[in-house]
Structures are given as structure tokens and as C-alpha cells.
Amino acid sequence: MNFVRSLCVFITFLSCIVISVHGQAAARPGPGSGTRIGFYSTTCPNAETIVRNAVTAGFSSNPRIAPGILRMHFHDCFVQGCDGSILITGTNTERTAVPNLNLRGFEVIDNAKTQLEAACPGVVSCADILALAARDSVVLTRGTSWPVPTGRRDGRVSLASNANNLPGPGDSVAVQQQKFSALGLSTRELVVLVGGHTIGTAGCATFRNRLFNSTTGPADPTIDPTFLAQLQTQCPQNGDASVRVDLDTGSATTFDTSYFNNLSRGRGVLQSDQVLWTDPATRPIVQQLMSPRSTFNADFARAMVRMSNIGVLTAASGEIRRVCSAVN
């Protein structure tokens, strides 16, 4: 018990995370968060199993849904809080915003919701399904697991214009800090959460401006020359902007610390990633996360619990959608 207590990290008003003797990150939401572990233990006891099975089935068919669902959860939480508004379809909804056009995995969330409505009608929110599915996606790519606090309700508003302030691929560290800080997240949590780029891909359009000389300057000198040539081959100057490139070269399907090692070698694909190494405000954090004593898995679990409690709707707020793509 003393061992557990000694590792307990109290984080503002949202949560306390404990690293258990089994190596799993255990999360306990604190006062005021409005969510808790086991929220559906009596009202829908198989909820987490149903979501996990749906994600596993989707992953078996297309492993790319794992980074897609993780990114979807980030984008949901960064716009009006974690309320499932990213899932709503229609003209000018969040899904139509440019940063969200390449999100994938919506069919997995819909599948889970269909099964949950059959088992426990009107009980489990789409926002909670997405939070659980993001955790399950990390596990399926060999990352850590953690208990996900649940009890969120679904939002009724989804506007593309609200997605304008999502973190972007060209953001400096200062801009990223401002965007994360506005949601109560620290610089360390920023670096840890961006470490989710250890899985997934990016389209050439999001970073090709770094690769070639232009009227505004030469190719980005922070890119390793060998890696620059590789990227130029994958994303030629007048080539297809939609071509996808691994964000974590050599390990894009495994949730691990190689992403941070790549940053140290000038092999960050996005400018917003590479500046985490070149900026003195974040470089020491990257160095710690890539070290043999890295705490990345535990830190990521902590940060995910914190992020997933941003702006949650609980109690009488919001609703429990019957289908995730439309308000009731």
C-alpha cells in the first residue's frame, strides 16, 4: 500500500493516477470532474466489453482505425470539451472542418453504439464510447491500458467554426503551449499527448512546405538530410498532397517511445513535432521520455484522463444520443 501511495500523483482538480504493481495506469477522478470509474457497472455492466470488442473487430479489419480514433478523441476534447460533438454529421459540423476531414474510425463508434443500444437502451453516451475506444486503440497498438472514468453526456452543438483553434501541424511550441494551457494542460502534458503521434500518418499537404526551397526560404534545416531526401521522394513538390506518410518512421504501428527518438535525430515529420526537440522549453521533456527510464506510458495515461475530463457534460446537461451521428 505504501508503494502505491508513494506513486500517487495528484493533478489539480481532475484526477489522481496511480501506477499499480501490475504496471497498468490506474485512474481515479477527483472531486468536481463529474466522471468516475465504473459509472456503468450497474446500468450497463458489459459496456466496456462491448466497446472493446467493437474496436478490436474494427482494428482487425483495418489497423489504421487505431490512430484515427485516438486523434478523433483529441479533436473532440479540444473543441467544446469531450462531448462527442465530433461524431455528428451534417453541413458545417465539426466533422467538416479541415483538420477533421481525414479522421477515420467513425464506423467503429457507430457499431459500438448500435450494440450498446440493443443491450442498454439510452444509457451509454457517445462521448464515453469515444473515450473508451481511444484507450482500447492504444492497447491494440501495444501501448498501456488505464481505467477510463465515464459518465459524460453528449453535446447538442457541433460547428465547424469551433474547430478553428485545434493544434495545427505548423504550430510553434509557444502556440501549442497557449492552446493546451487554455484547456488547463501543462507543457509536459502537451509533449506527452503529442507523443500519440507514435502511431498514425500525416498527409503530404501538412508538411511539404518544409521539404523544398521556396520564395520564403530553404528547406527546413532541422530535418536530417537523409530523412529529407526520403520525404522528398514520398512527397514530391508537385505530387499528390493526400499521400500519407508515417509520423513515427520505422514504428508507426506500435505505441512506443521511438517517436521521441526520431525527434532527436531530426526525423519529426510535422513542424509542430520537430520543434518539440529544437525548443528549449520542451527538449528536456523529450529527452526524459526517450530515455531508458522513460515514464511515457504512465504519463500518457495520466494526461489522457486529464484531457478526457475537459468540459464534460454530466448530470442534467447534454443528452444520451440514440445514434452518435445525430442529436436526439
Q: What is the mean pLDDT of residues 83-92?
A: 98
Any known ligand binding at 319?
A: no
Any known ligand binding at 22?
A: no
Any known ligand binding at 94?
A: yes
Any known ligand binding at 73?
A: no
Is 105 in contact with 65 (CB distance < 8 Å)?
yes
pLDDT band at 32 (very low <50, low <70, confident <90, very high): very low
pLDDT in tens, 238-252: 999 999 999 999 999
Is 194 in contact with 71 (CB distance < 8 Å)?
no
Quote the crossing angle between the two packed helices 65-77 and 106-119, to the nearest 10°.
80
Any known ligand binding at 167?
A: yes
Any known ligand binding at 79?
A: yes
- Which pLDDT does position 6 carry in this prediction? 36
pLDDT band at 118 (very low <50, low <70, confident <90, very high): very high
Q: What is the DSSP string of 219-272?
A: S-TTS-HHHHHHHHHHS-TTS-TT-EEESSTT-TTS-SSHHHHHHHTT--SSHH
Domain boundaries, the chain: 46-200+247-308
Any known ligand binding at 81?
A: yes
Pairing of strands 9-11, 201-203: unpaired
Taking alpha carbons only, the member of 147, 152, 100 closest to residue 126 is 152
pLDDT in tens, 52-79: 999 999 999 999 999 999 999 999 999 9
CATH topology classification for 46-200+247-308:
Peroxidase; domain 1 (1.10.520)
C-alpha span between 13 and 31 (Å, rounded) = 6
Predicted structure pTM score: 0.89
Active site residues: 75
Q: Which helix (H) or strand (E) holds 211?
A: none
C-alpha span between 325 and 89 (Å, rounded) = 5
Residue 18 has pLDDT above 50, yes or no: no
